[in-house]
Chains A and B, each alone.
Chain A
């Protein structure tokens, strides 16, 4: 069974610091990896996608993928209060969609 594991948190980070979110996945054939942000009561929105080993940067966000370790991470630099949300890690690539983790609740302290 495909699984994506995340620490549920809450993860509390001071404003301006770096927030580090991690996840591991079980299905070695997964080719696509995603980070979604979900505000309370809202649907998930895409933050980053990553398909190959290494780092991918987009503004304040950096996604890291290590397929050998089956590990994906998201770094948020210069964290802002508006970054407070639940972050969902997802893995997949086939027609059956993505497998999601339960999410990490991130709190940015002003």
Chain B
């Protein structure tokens, strides 16, 4: 069966510090991969998606970037965090056209 893992689960980072969130999927090949953010009082916002290694699409202009160095690995990064980057970050995957499954999520607090 397929599983998705993301880490770290929680982190508190100062403004201006870098960020790296990592996600891996097991049990499937060539999945679509996604990064969503859920800020307080707001819905799930799609940040990035990837249909293959090295292929990244960004949905919104922002202070973040994403990379897909391997088929089942997706990384969310920032060089300098802003207060507004705080939120609940969710990695997700699917086989094209099918249900999206989420990882456990990463709580980021920028202070």
Contact = CB atoms under 8 A, between A and B. Distances in A.
A46 interface: yes
Given A42-B105, A43-B102, A95-B32, A100 B97 contact: no
Contacts of A45: 102
Given A42-B105, A43-B90, A43-B104, A93 B97 contact: yes
A103 B43 contact: yes
A28 B65 CA distance: 30
A98 B36 CA distance: 10
Nearest to A89: B43
B111 interface: no
Contacts of B102: 43-45
B66 interface: no
Contacts of B51: 95
Nearest to B102: A43
Interface residues of B, number: 25
B49 A97 contact: yes
A10 B42 CA distance: 15
B100 A97 contact: yes
B87 interface: no
B105 A43 contact: yes
B105 A88 contact: no
Nearest to B59: A96
A17 B104 CA distance: 31
